[in-house]
A and B are shown apart, each in its own frame.
Chain A
Amino acid sequence: QSALTQPASVSGSPGQSITISCTGTSSDVGAYKYVSWYQQRPGKAPKLMIYDVSYRPSGVSDRFSGSKSGNTASLTISGLQAEDEADYYCSSETGNTTLAFGGGTKLTVL
């Protein structure tokens, strides 16, 4: 069981916006700011999409944005495209000298 809770699945139509949540506790997401998000397409390695809650690495589309409020971090994808269909994972330090990942969210583009 993951320390960080994500919805199992979300879906949206092309052009729409969707948000994926990542809920932790005051000991991880709530206490620390270093939440990251990864995209994993089927059969591929994960790809860093967001770090430090809201920063995008070079080369990542500005349609991807991150935020945090209290114990919940969020990844928002605007202007959904078919290529965004993938699994998305959040991660955060836990305050227990380790890093935890969320259970992952499958994004379906309808």
Chain B
Amino acid sequence: QVQLVQSGAEVKKPGASVKVSCKASGYTFTSYFMHWVRQAPGQGLEWMGVINPSGGSTSFAQKFQGRVTMTSDTSTRTVYMELNSLRSDDTAVYYCARDAELNRPWSLAVAGVCWFDPWGQGTLVTVSS
């Protein structure tokens, strides 16, 4: 079955960087985009961006541009999300979420015409001095 397994919880100091991994299994890795969504404690969901594992193209929400990097490794079927210059308000659970549509046009995915299934289990990133 399709499964996304994320790396474990992280504690970082303000100004540091964090890199979260998401290992996929059970489907053709390069045929589906991977998105990242975060959720601050007790808050709602926030879309961060998307990566095409086939080729590595990325697109980010304006809020995160310049501070986030997304990469993929097809040999290990793993995508990564790195967030730099961490602040206390970056404390959140970070989810990877596979695009639900096979071979969705990239132009639609970056325009937000997308939905996600399944999701990883989430990775708690705590930013505290």
Contact = CB atoms under 8 A, between A and B. Distances in A.
A45 B119 contact: yes
A5 to B, nearest CB: 11
Interface string A88-110: 01011110111111111000000
B47 interface: yes
B81 to A, nearest CB: 15
Contact of B45 (A46, A93, A98): A46
Contact of B115 (A32, A51, A98): A51
Interface in B56-103: 59, 61-62, 95, 97, 100
Contact of B122 (A2, A45, A96): A45
Task: Give the interface size bracket for B toward A.
Answer: 20 to 34
Task: Give the interface size bracket for A toward B.
Answer: 20 to 34
Given A45-B121, A48-B100, A98-B61, A34 B45 contact: no
A47 interface: yes
Contacts of A102: 44
A17 B116 CA distance: 26
B110 A97 contact: yes
Contacts of A97: 59, 110-112
Contact of A103 (B44, B59, B61): B44
Q: What 5 A-B pairs are tightest by C-beta distance, nearest first?
A: A99-B112, A93-B112, A45-B119, A48-B117, A36-B115
Interface of A: 2, 32, 34, 36, 38, 45-48, 51-52, 57, 89, 91-94, 96-104
